[in-house]
Structure 1
Amino acid sequence: MSNQNFFNLPEVNTMPRFSGIRTFMRLPYEPEVQKRDFVILGAPFDTSASYRAGTRFGPEGIRRISSLLRPANVFHKIKPSDVLNGVDGGDVMIIPGNTEASHQNITDHVKAWTEKGAVPIVLGGDHSITLPELRAISAVHGPLSLLHFDAHGDTWDNYWGEKYTHGTPFRRAVEEGIINPCRSVQIGMRGTVYHPDDIEEARKLGFLVITADEMREIGLQETMRRALEQLGDSKVFLTFDIDFLDPAFAPGTGTPEIAGFSSTEAQSMLRQLTAINLVGCDLVEVLPALDPAEITTLTGATIVFEFLSLLAVKKQMSKDYSSLPTI
């Protein structure tokens, strides 16, 4: 394995981790769209939240605590910076209170990076931001499969007559034909709902839905086996809502649900995804103001590092380094 540092990360013996400008894991800041393996983008938008607002500060909080992360993944035995060339592209321009314009900006920005070959990794923000990301990436790759970790299915038709909220993105995505629900999976649904058949509505749309109760019954390994079977060799967008985790492990979020999963369980599930064809991902619903000791932001940052590790493992397995520029 090469010892090149494609992230261009500063060495800890010359610059302590707590110093410097806060990009994700101290990646180079490159707002100009360019050819890269991946790009970290912030979408600090929470106008579509249905209960507690404040996830607009999620990207900043995740970036800040991410400096704590070290560059090697012991489980995968890989150092993503040896394999991947990526940057932090900064935040998408958001207009508070204007969902349509903000979503359009997200679509335009994510599409521009995707067209350059980068896998976009977006830090939210509320879960409504996933819809414009899917629009952008599907415009380049065609309809996508969705792998969705969440306490909520987010397939409601509307909130208070509004069609575009953080509770509706995946119904809209199915209606727009930008995801294929028959190759998509929703994992972890639990908690109170508006109607006893709410989860069945997602299944009627075509999703494979594995609730938290079902996961406890069949086990995490079988859960992931079924998910991988459903996804097959399709192009996958992975979206992770931090409220998939129990509030004991992720208190800083807007709509928490009890009886969720631990950070250990979530990490274990993500690490089983090395075979998927990942073309985009996001981490949403982190609300730093309700996050004592930065527990939730650290968990979110670590999950994003697991995304990067999946991309690195996939690239290492392909032995294709042709896209790496000369440093």
Structure 2
Amino acid sequence: MKYQPKDSSLSPRFTGVRTFMRLENIQTTEDVDFVIVGVPFDTAASNRVGTRYGPQHVRNASVLLRPYNPDQDINIFDYCSGVDYGDIDVVPGNIHRTYDNMVEGLMPIVEKGITPIIIGGDHSISLGNLRAFARKYGPISLVHFDAHGDTWDNYYGEKYMHGTPFRRAVEEGLIDTAHSIQIGMRGPLYGPDCIQDARDLGFEVITMSEMRKLGQENVIKRIHERVGGESPVFVTFDIDFVDPAYAPGTGTPEVAGPTSHEALEYVRSLKGLNIVGFDLVEVLPAFDPTEITAGLASAVAFEMISLVALKKRAALEMASK
């Protein structure tokens, strides 16, 4: 049995329960290649809160998506089956119990080799995601699109905040930093060590200023050279990677970022990497009254699903040779 969205040319988009892309809402690991999972946790945010409503906001915008991706020339559901798995039961105000729930909820998916597209929530959720993947794969490569490195040691003396997950992940041995890269960092900082700390942890870091000088093609080349084609990769995409002119609905916006078109091209360019999971975080509906952020976020998730389909197609073509 294959799961795919309702056909919006036959069934109006405004009907039915809101799921991502109008997929079936079912918790199953049978006959699926990808699942959409929400993690509506935001009590590790340092500025605006409200990203707990991000998963439902992105789902609402995603009803406009259709199955064929013209930029990648693939009909997703010719190769993939997928469902909206629902949300992890988070514990507001208790990040550690939330992490435990995340690992418990994600492990049945990860163990079966199903690719989850995880929608947050603030960026602290990435630590829970990486804990689950490291149980299966060991230290994993990370491709990180963001305006901020999120490698601070603490916020307000707290070690587990949305600005600290990747430092904690390195300390816990979850990330293979030698094959990991952060892209898009920009904006005022507390000091030069804010960028250097990530490099000292082993990450390659390409700031926004460096991205503009290098050009998109060269940045994409650097990503592939750094990560390689064999090691398992987790992709994390903070919506504030994109300039707030295109994505105002986020908690810590930083000006002078990529356009929405450039952001989608970066995700598309990850074709060929051995991606085993994704997360998309920091969508804040209260600051997105026209839903342009949600529209972009749903498009990013669609491109992530397209990468799953492309990987499946490539494997089928290889097997037929």
TM-score range, shorter chain: over 0.9
Residues in 2 aligned to 1:34 and 1:241: alpha-carbon distance in whole angstroms:
30
Task: Quote the Cα distance in structure 1 between the aligned partners of 2:199 and 2:187.
Answer: 17
Alpha-carbon distance in structure 2 between the residues aligned to 1:83 and 1:21 = 25
Which of 246, 263, 275 is matched with 1:249 structurally?
246
- Amino acid paired to 1:228: H
2:265 matches 1:276: no
Equivalent residue for 1:17?
Answer: 13
Q: Deviations over 1:81-134 (max 9, x none)?
A: 111111111000011111111111111111121112211110000000000100
Supply the distance in 2 between the matched residues of 1:321 and 1:97 (Cα, whole angstroms): 47
Task: Say yes or no: does 1:234 pair with 2:231.
Answer: yes
Residue 309 of structure 1 aligns to which amino acid in structure 2?
A: S
For residue 62 of structure 2, what is the aligned residue in structure 1? 66
Q: State whether structure 2 residue 293 is matched by structure 1 residue 301.
A: no
- CA drift at 1:196: 2.0
Measure the CA separation in 1 of the matches of 2:3 and 2:67: 10
Please tell me whether the aligned partners of residues 145 and 237 of structure 2 are also in contact (alpha carbons under 8 angstroms): yes
Give distance in 2, aligned partners of 1:298 and 1:129.
22
Paired amino acid for 1:230: R
Rounded Cα–Cα distance in structure 2 between residues aligned with 1:250 and 1:74: 23
Q: CA deviation at 1:247?
A: 0.5
SS of the residue aligned with 2:185?
A: coil
User: What do residues 187-245 of structure 1 show as CA deviations (whole Å, max 9, x unaligned)?
Assistant: 00000111122101100110000000000001011011011100012110000000000
Counterpart of 2:20, as a letter, is F
Deviation per CA, 1:12-53: give whole Å up to 9, x if none: 243112211111001111124445211110000000000000
Unaligned 5+ segments in structure 2 are none
Aligned length, in residue pairs:
318
Checking the alignment, whether the CA contact within 8 Å between 1:34 and 1:116 is kept in structure 2 is no
Aligned to 1:310: 307
Percent same amino acid at aligned positions?
Answer: 53
Match of 1:108 in 2: 104
Give the structure 2 partner of residue 174 of structure 1.
170
Report the alpha carbon displacement of residue 135 of structure 1 after superposing the two structures with TM.
Answer: 0.4
* Residue pairs, 1:129-278, within 5 angstroms: 129-232=125-228, 233-278=230-275
Contact 1:187/1:210 (CA < 8 Å) preserved in 2? yes
In the alignment, residue 40 of structure 1 is paired with which amino acid? I
Q: CA deviation at 1:63?
A: 0.5
Using the size of structure 2 for normalisation, the TM-score is 0.96
Are the counterparts in 2 of residues 6 and 82 from structure 1 also a CA contact under 8 Å?
A: no
Paired residue type of 2:207: T
Q: Indicate the residue corresponding to 1:287 in structure 2.
A: 284
Q: Encode CA deviations 1:51-87: one digit per residue, 9 max, x unaligned.
A: 0000000000000110011111001110111111111
| AA at the equivalent of 1:142 | G
Once the two structures are overlaid, the 10-residue window that deviates more, 93-102 or 10-19, is 10-19
Corresponding residue SS for 1:293 = coil
Letter in 1 for 2:13: R
5+ long unaligned stretches in structure 1: 323-327
1:325 alignment counterpart? none
- Partners of 2:149 and 2:183 in 1: how far apart? 9
Q: 1-side partners of 2:318 and 2:30: how far apart?
A: 17
1:298 offset after TM fit, Å?
0.7
Q: Is the 8 A contact 1:36 1:117 kept in 2?
A: no
CA contact (8 A) 1:128 1:166 kept: yes
Q: Residue type of the partner of 2:289? A: P
2:294 is aligned with what amino acid? Answer: T
Q: Tell me if the contact between 1:35 and 1:118 (Cα under 8 Å) persists in the aligned partners.
A: no
Query: 1:84 aligned to 2:80?
Result: yes
Kept after mapping to 1: 8 A contact 2:116/2:278: yes
- Give, in whole Å, the separation in 2 of the partners of 1:8 and 1:69: 12
Q: 1:268 to 1:173 in 2, by over 3 A?
A: same
Give, in angstroms, the shift of residue 321 of structure 1: 11
AA aligned opposite 1:234: S
In 1, Cα distance between the equivalents of 2:75 and 2:207?
Answer: 33
> 1:18–1:68: 8 Å Cα contact kept in structure 2?
no
